[in-house]
Amino acid sequence: MQSYDVVIVGGGAAGITVAAILRRQRPQLSVGLIEPSDVHYYQPGWTIVGGGEYSLEKTRRSMASLIPKGVTWIKAAASAFEPQGNVVVLADGSRVGYNMLVACPGIQNDWNKIAGLKEALGHDGVCSNYSAETVESTWRFIDAFKGGTALFTQPPLPFKCPGAPQKIAYLAADRWRQRGLSEQCDMHFLTATPGMFGVPYFAQALNKIIAGYNITPHFKHNLVAIDGGKREATFEVTGDDEQKSHVTFGYDLIHVSPPESPPEFVKNSPLANEGGYIEVDQGTMRSTRFDNVFALGDACSTPNSKTAAAVRKQAPVLVANMLAVLDGQDLSQSYDGYASCPLTTSLDKVMLAEFIYGGKVTPTFRMDPSEPRKIWWWGKMSGFPWLYWDIMLKGRHFIDIRHGEDKAAAFISK
């Protein structure tokens, strides 16, 4: 059985970043990275791919080009965690041992939880930015749209990038407005959540954005079925009395953000909590059950928004604490729940929402974070991809200007 000082499960943003930091800080450690895919995607770019402003090819790089030198690529899928024996079981039945485990396998799109969705995706006016296979169909349908009813859906939390379901609605609305189609468009945003965003400060600003586009919001509406042939979408509606009912909308175009959950082997593992996520201390990123197991990214239990920006803050904390364990020292670093959600509100402006645990607004810069700005559109198109590919995934330390509540106080108190 092959064995390593550190085994990382998952070659997404979290796994590559941790591997790169480890190679820089402790190159003598043997590190194995378990990942079956040949391709790595910059998923934050998929919104603007669907909006017609970016190509899918720009979001794609080979996994081989990203795995740091000195890290052993175990090109296989993990199928089970056996933390009692310090072992990860692979899909072919082989086993990999470790002294320390970093679990970051990501989460999966649960297309099958919406009846009829999988069969309709990519045609019948049904599209989604949430996979490499379907994102280009979003732009194809938006570009071909000449008017009618357009629906944009959002599932129950948690799921990747909670602002993405409404971002594509704004990009589509702005595109159609530029083409003079606004009067022909009947747009609806249907979300399973009770408001536009989980942080009230940004929700208030987004209420104005959605109203400006004449998009009708529907709260506590969860998509449960699609009939592609009839072009009908059925939603489960939760009333104020918590009673459930169903309502059906006809559509000409529907963008679906699917429900998501951890992979099945994670849900069925000793690492998982009742919701199927890897249970960790929300500050240290260490498993609450096994002292030599750490986790980060979308599949772990930390109650933050699941974004690449969150991983950028989690990874250095995790590595520092894991090395402290190896050195017999106390865990000294703590993740504060930071996440950043660049909300594309038009084809040239972005609202940069930054916040930590508890929904506390913590901008990096002393400017009103609820105001959409062209500088953040540049960030979305150029700056953030550079930060991702050339800084974060390389394990480099970027001059990190402190984010904090004090920088938001003047604006929130208005």
Among 104, 127, 300, 341, the active-site one is: 341
Tokens 């197991």 found at: 293
Q: Is pLDDT of 93 > 80?
A: yes
pLDDT higher than 90, residue 154: yes
Is the pLDDT score of 401 beyond 90? no
Concerning whether 341 is annotated as a catalytic residue, the answer is: yes
Out of 104, 127, 161, 185, the active site residue is 161
Condensed to tens digits (0 to 9), the pLDDT of residues 291-337 reads 999 999 999 999 999 999 999 999 999 999 999 999 999 998 999 99
Does residue 403 register a pLDDT over 60?
yes
Mean pLDDT of 148-156: 97
- Cα-Cα-Cα-Cα torsion 301, 306, 312, 314, nearest 10 degrees, comes to -10
Confidence of residue 156 (pLDDT cuts 50, 70, 90): very high
- Residue 208 CB contacts under 8 Å (≥ 6 apart), including other chains: none
Separation of alpha carbons 217 and 194, rounded Å: 10
Q: Nearest Cα to 42, choosing from 412, 390, 313?
A: 390
Q: What secondary structure, in 3-state letters, does the chain show?
A: CEEEEEEEECCCHHHHHHHHHHHHHCCCCCEEEECCCCEEECHHHHHHHHCCCCCHHHHEEEHHHHCCCCEEEECCCEEEEEHHHCEEEECCCCEEEEEEEEECCCCEECHHHCECHHHHECCCCEECCCCCCCHHHHHHHHHHCCCEEEEEEECCCCCECCCHHHHHHHHHHHHHHHCCCHHHEEEEEEECCCCCCCCHHHHHHHHHHHHHCCCEEECCEEEEEEECCCCEEEEEEECCCCCEEEEEEECCEEECCCCEECCHHHHCCCCECCCCCECECCCCCEECCCCCEEECCCCECCCCCECHHHHHHHHHHHHHHHHHHHCCCCCCCCCCCCEEEEEECCCCCEEEEEEEHHHEECCCCCCCCCCCEHHHHHHHHHHHHHHHHHHHCCCCCCCCCCCCHHHCHHHHCC
Give the model's pLDDT for residue 317: 97
All domains in the chain, ordered by first residue: 2-108+261-326 (3.50.50.60), 113-259 (3.50.50.60), 339-412 (no CATH)
Could you identify the residue written with the tokens 């008017």?
147
pLDDT beyond 60 at 13: yes
Using pLDDT thresholds of 50, 70 and 90, give the confidence band for residue 162.
confident
Find the mean pLDDT for residues 19-39. 97
- What average pLDDT does range 160-169 have in this prediction? 93
pTM over 0.85: yes
pLDDT tens digits, 355-368: 999 999 999 888 89
What pLDDT does residue 1 have? Answer: 84
pLDDT band of residue 398 (cuts 50, 70, 90) is low
Residue 404: the pLDDT is 75
Beta-bridge partners for 280: 287
Question: pLDDT digit string (tens) for 261-277?
Answer: 999 999 999 999 999 99
Reported as a pLDDT band with limits 50, 70 and 90, residue 399 is low
| Residue 116 reports pLDDT greater than 60 | yes
Tell me the pLDDT of the chain averaged across its residues. Answer: 95
CB 234 within 8 A of CB 247: yes
Give the pLDDT score at 374: 97
The phi and psi torsions of 347 (rounded to 5 degrees) equal: -80, 5
161 a catalytic residue: yes
Q: What is the structure's pLDDT at 405?
A: 75
- pLDDT(397) > 90: no
- pLDDT computed for residue 40 by the predictor: 98
